[in-house]
Amino acid sequence: MCSLAANFLWGGKSIQSKIHLVKMEDITRTRKDGGWGLLDLKVFGKALICKSLHRGIFGSGPWSKLINRKYLKGKGIVYWYRRKTLGKRRGSAIWLGFRKLQHFFLDNLRWNIFSGASIHIGFDRLLNGPSSFFPLPLVHYLHTKGIFTWDKLIKSWSNSSPVWNDAIDLHLPPPLSPLWSSFVQGLSNMAIHRAAPMDALVWSLPSKPLPISVKNIYAAITNLPAISSLMIFPMPLWKVSCPLKMVLFLWLVFCNKNLTWEVLQQKGWSGPGRCSLCLMDSETNLHLFFNCPISSFIWYDLSISFGFPHLSFSSVQDGIRWWSGQSVLRRSLFAHSCWLIWKWRNTIIFHDARRPVSALLSLIKASHVS
């Protein structure tokens, strides 16, 4: 699928070369984020590495014993977690690959609380909270009083839920009492509870269930880059009963990536710039598929034949969104029509062959019926 997409977007056969229509990082975004949902193989490789590292550190097989003895020097992951690094800086190519992702791996380590005696206040992260959750003024004050671990903050246990000490129990001064009350409220909202027979450091991803899967790791990594500037393509159009190339073509039109004369001129190409259908106005996606007198006549004729209103739109995105809200048959008609209008336009440009509009209408209706 990735090779087909690459050929469609960036080139065909070895003797061909196409204009780059869109960045790979855009089409590898999920469909709900505006992309195609294709797999980014580089990110997927990182997810596999993280999964192997997780299995090596938290597993019990020969591979885990090798990592813990040779690279972690027998000190365990807790030691390296608090040092914010991961074992030896030299080693095999596999280990060096692990170290490239050490910050992502270490940042997602969390403590599962049992008694709290092994969890350091202000340094260790609980399973449901970030490291910065604990207020620094409280950390400094508690350390001066010799309180360094989370078990000193717990008065008792109500089944598996902790009952936290109040400000009086901790001998907090008045300025810190409201801060502690607010913090305890946040702890209650985190729903911290005993989930293991002892305090244990685990690898957990935000909003992802355990056990960790490659799919969840991949999703967490792809959420790290900045949000794409792409507009969100209507989801119903992904389910249109037509060849996938037509849906991908509509996606290009929607994102204004389709190579009309307007887009070509923005990329530095020279050309007539006028619409190849009407030979009058500038060729944009909005004009070509909605506002051109030829395409407008086609939509008018189809509206009579298939019973939908003939509307005008101020942008190509508004038009495509309107069509996405129509019935399944109408969405299919729209996809086929836009595709055939584009093919007809290309035939005029590349083969200097202009057929009557009636022939195009007959072709659209025949394709829709079939």
Q: Between vectors from CA 4 to CA 3 and to CA 9, what angle results, nearest 5°?
A: 95
Residues 272 and 338 in one domain: yes
Is residue 1, in this structure, part of any structural domain at all? no
Q: Between vectors from CA 6 to CA 319 and to CA 50, what angle results, nearest 5°?
A: 105
Residues 66 and 151 in one domain: no
What integer pLDDT is reported at residue 227 of this predicted model?
52
Is pLDDT larger for residue 237 or for residue 228? Answer: 237
Residues 280 and 141 in one domain: no
The secondary element (H helix, E strand) that includes residue 365 is helix 357-369
In this structure, of 66-80, 211-225, 234-248, the range with the lowest mean pLDDT score is 211-225
Residues 116 and 244 in one domain: no
Is residue 124, in this structure, part of any structural domain at all? yes
Tokens 């409280």, located at residue: 138
Residues 175 and 281 in one domain: no
Is residue 197, in this structure, part of any structural domain at all? no
Asked if residue 71 has pLDDT above 60, the reply is yes
Asked if residue 226 has pLDDT above 70, the reply is no
Report the mean per-residue pLDDT for the chain: 87
Tell me the pLDDT band of 269, cut-offs 50, 70 and 90.
confident
What integer pLDDT is reported at residue 343 of this predicted model?
94
Domain of 211, in residue numbers: 41-108+205-222
Tokens 């035939």, located at residue: 347
Asked if residue 125 has pLDDT above 80, the reply is yes
Residues 240 and 252 in one domain: yes
pLDDT in tens, 286-300: 999 999 999 999 999
Residues 157 and 214 in one domain: no
Residues 248 and 340 in one domain: yes
Among the listed residues 192, 184, 99, the one whose alpha carbon sits nearest the alpha carbon of residue 138: 184
What integer pLDDT is reported at residue 26 of this predicted model?
84
What integer pLDDT is reported at residue 23 of this predicted model?
82
Residues 339 and 309 in one domain: yes
DSSP string, 23-64: -HHHHTS-GGGTS-----HHHHHHHHHHHHHHHHHH--SHHH
What integer pLDDT is reported at residue 340 of this predicted model?
95
Residues 253 and 315 in one domain: yes
What CA–CA distance (Å, rounded) separates 321 from 314? Answer: 12
Mean pLDDT of 159-175: 89
Among the listed residues 175, 182, 173, the one whose alpha carbon sits nearest the alpha carbon of residue 144: 173
Q: How many domains does one find in the chain?
A: 3
Please count the CA atoms within 13 angstroms of the CA of 98 that sit on its side-chain side.
Answer: 22
